[in-house]
Structure 1
Amino acid sequence: MTASAPLLIPGLSAIASDYKGILCDVWGVLHNGVAAFEQAHRALATYRERTGGKVVLITNAPRPSAPIREQLASLGVPLDAYDDIVTSGDVTRDQLSAKAGEKIFHIGPERDLSLYDGTGVILSSEADSTVISCTGLFDDEVETPEDYRYQLSALAKRGLTMICANPDIVVERGDRLIWCAGSLGRLYEDLGGTVLISGKPHAPIYRAAVDRLSALAGEPVADQNILCVGDGLPTDIRGADSQGLDVLFITGGIHASDFGPVDAPDEGLVRRRLAEEGYTARAAVPRLVW
C-alpha cells in the first residue's frame, strides 16, 4: 500500500480476498466485556464462508482457550465466527510448566486458576513462593496498580521473577477502562523486578497462532497471506508489525478518543499516531464490519 492510498476502508470485504487466514483480537474487537459486537462476528463468519479462509482468535486472556470459548458464547459470539483460539494463557502455561515443582504466588482473580491445571506448579503463599504469576488484579472493579506498589516492591527486593499471563495494560469493560495484569507487570519492572511475558506483542503467541492457522489450513500459510485484526497499539499493532504481518487497525477500540468521532475517525490523526509509534497498518476501520 502506497502512502497516498486511503488508509480507512469501508470494511473487511475491501481486502479480505488478499488473505488466507486472519488472526483476530477479541476484547475491543469482538466484544467489550459486556456484550458482543454483532457486525464484527458477522464479518468474520462472512470471511470464512466466502473466502474459505481460517480465523484464529488471538487474545491476551490469561486463561486457557477452553474457558474463553465458553465466555465468548455467553457474550453472544457464535462458533461460526472463528475456527480456533490461542490465548496468552495457553502460551504462558509453557513458562509455568518449566517451573514445575516450584511454589507459585498467584496474583489475580480466582476465575483464572484454570491456568495452572496440569502445569506441575504448586500454588503457595506469598512468603513461601519463589515465583510470582500474575493474571490480573484481585478485584479489577475497584483496585488500581498503586494498591500493589508496596507488595510488589517487597517481592522485587526478594528477586522473584514475575510471569505475566496478560500483557494488556487496560481493557474496555462496557464504557469503562479496567486495569489488567500488564499494568502490574509494568509496575514490577519499574520497581526493579524481572517480568516474563509470552502474550501479545511478543513472539511466542504469534508463533503458536500461525502454527494453528497452518494446521487448520492443512498447509503452511505464508506470513504475507495472514491479516491481523486488532485495536491495541502496544499489543495488537506492535505485535503484528514485529512479526512482519499485515494489520487491520480497529480505531474505535481502546484508542477511540484519540482520533475524533468514534464512527468517523480523522485519517490524518490515525496516520500521525501510527507514525509517532513507528507502526504501519494495511488499513483501518472504526469497527470490524464486512
Structure 2
Amino acid sequence: MTQIIRALSEIAGQYDALFCDLWGCLHNGVAPFPAAVAALQGFRAGGGKVILLTNAPRPKSSVVRQLEKMGLPRDTWDDVATSGDAAQYAMLTGAVGQRVYHIGAPKDEPFFTDFEDDIAHLVADAGITRVPLDEAEGIVCTGLADDLTETPDDYRAKLLMGKTKELKMLCANPDIVVDMGDKRLWCAGALARDYEEMGGTALYFGKPHPPVYDLARRRLGLDDPRILCVGDGIATDVQGGVAEGLDTLFVSGGIATDHFGPDSDNPNKDLLEKWLSDQQLSPSYTIGHLR
C-alpha cells in the first residue's frame, strides 16, 4: 500500500539521491513548476544528489539546452541521463544495423549529431547512414515528425512496410504520450507499441528498461546509494524503479491525474488504491505534485 505524502522533505532524509522525471513532474514542456524546483533545490541543499532521468529521445546536451531555455535553475540538478543517450549507444553498437530509416522530428536531429564523451569514440566505426525505408536495415524512431498535428495512425503504412521487411525498430522514447502545456502529444512509444501489435520487433532503452538506469547510476557516481525514483509515469517511472529494486515516489497530479478526484494536489486515497491495484503496481509513496 502506498503512503501519501504532502512534501518531499518528509522522506528526503532517507535517500542519498533522486532519479527524477522531467515532463509532468518538474515541468510541463513549457515552464518549470516552481514548487518542484524548490523541492529539488532543498534536497540538494541537504546533501542529496539529483539525476534528471528522462525518456527524452535526445542526448543529454540537447535536453540541457532545452532546460536552460525553459529557465530551469542550474542548482536544481547534478546530472542528466536520457533515453536518447542509452538508445544512441545501442545504435552505435549495431542494434538495428548501419543503414537506418529515421522516424522523427527535426528537433530530434541531435540524436544523430550530438554524442556525449562516454560514447563519442564509437561514432567513427559505427558507420551509421540514414536511408529511405526501402533501403533500410533497421528503423530508429525518436517520435512523430509533427507531434502537434499527427497521430500514430498516420504511420500505419510505414510501420507495415517495416514489419514486412522484418526490420527491428529502435525506440528512443518508450513514453506513449506526454503533456505539453494543456495539449497531449504522442511519443515514439506509441509507434513502437503499434509496431509490436503488427508483429514487428521494437527495442527499448529508456524507462522502465535497464539500460537508462545503468547510465544514471554511472553518472551518479556514488557507492551503494539509497535512491528514490520520482515521476508521474506508472508504467515507466514506477515500474522501472520497482524493477530496479528502488523506492518510488509517484506524482499522481501528472499524466494520470484524472483518475484520482478533482483536487490534483490531494489524490483521493480510495481512488488511488483502486487504480494502483488495477495497474498491479504500488509505489512506495504518492504525492499530488512534487513539492
Give the TM bin, normalised by the shorter chain.
Answer: over 0.9
Letter in 1 for 2:4: L
**Residue 272 (structure 1) shift:** 1.8
Residue 101 of structure 2 is matched in structure 1 by 105
**Residue 113 (structure 1) shift:** 1.6
Residue 80 of structure 1 is matched in structure 2 by 75
Residue 30 of structure 2 is matched in structure 1 by 34
Letter in 2 for 1:233: I
Separation in structure 2 between the aligned mates of residue 19 and residue 264 of structure 1, nearest angstrom: 24
Secondary structure at 1:127's aligned position in 2?
A: helix
**Residue 67 (structure 1) shift:** 1.0
Letter in 2 for 1:64: P
CA contact (8 A) 1:62 1:112 kept: yes
Separation in structure 1 between the aligned mates of residue 162 and residue 229 of structure 2, nearest angstrom: 36
Between 260-269 and 115-124, report the one with greater CA deviation: 115-124
- Within the alignment, does 1:23 sit opposite 2:24 as a pair? no
Residue 268 of structure 1 is matched in structure 2 by 270
How big is each residue's C-alpha offset from its partner over 1:167-211, in whole Å with a ceiling of 9 and x where there is no partner?
000000111210000000000001111001010000111111122
Between 95-104 and 198-207, report the one with greater CA deviation: 95-104
CA contact (8 A) 1:252 1:287 kept: yes
Gaps of 5+ in 2: 114-122
Counting only pairs closer than 5 Å after superposition, residues 88-127 of structure 1 correspond to structure 2 as 88-99=83-94, 102-117=98-113, 118=123, 120-127=127-134
Separation in structure 1 between the aligned mates of residue 271 and residue 282 of structure 2, nearest angstrom: 14
Letter in 1 for 2:253: G
Counting only pairs closer than 5 Å after superposition, residues 64-75 of structure 1 correspond to structure 2 as 64-75=59-70
CA contact (8 A) 2:249 2:283 kept: yes
Moved over 3 A (4+): none
**Residue 120 (structure 1) shift:** 3.4
CA contact (8 A) 2:30 2:70 kept: yes
Residue 138 of structure 1 is matched in structure 2 by 145
Letter in 1 for 2:173: N
Secondary structure at 1:86's aligned position in 2?
A: strand
How big is each residue's C-alpha offset from its partner over 1:88-144, in whole Å with a ceiling of 9 and x where there is no partner?
000001110112971110000011121123353111111211110000000100100
CA contact (8 A) 1:33 1:174 kept: yes
TM-score by length of 1: 0.93
**Residue 275 (structure 1) shift:** 2.0
Separation in structure 1 between the aligned mates of residue 25 and residue 127 of structure 2, nearest angstrom: 34
Separation in structure 2 between the aligned mates of residue 232 and residue 266 of structure 1, nearest angstrom: 18
Gaps of 5+ in 1: none
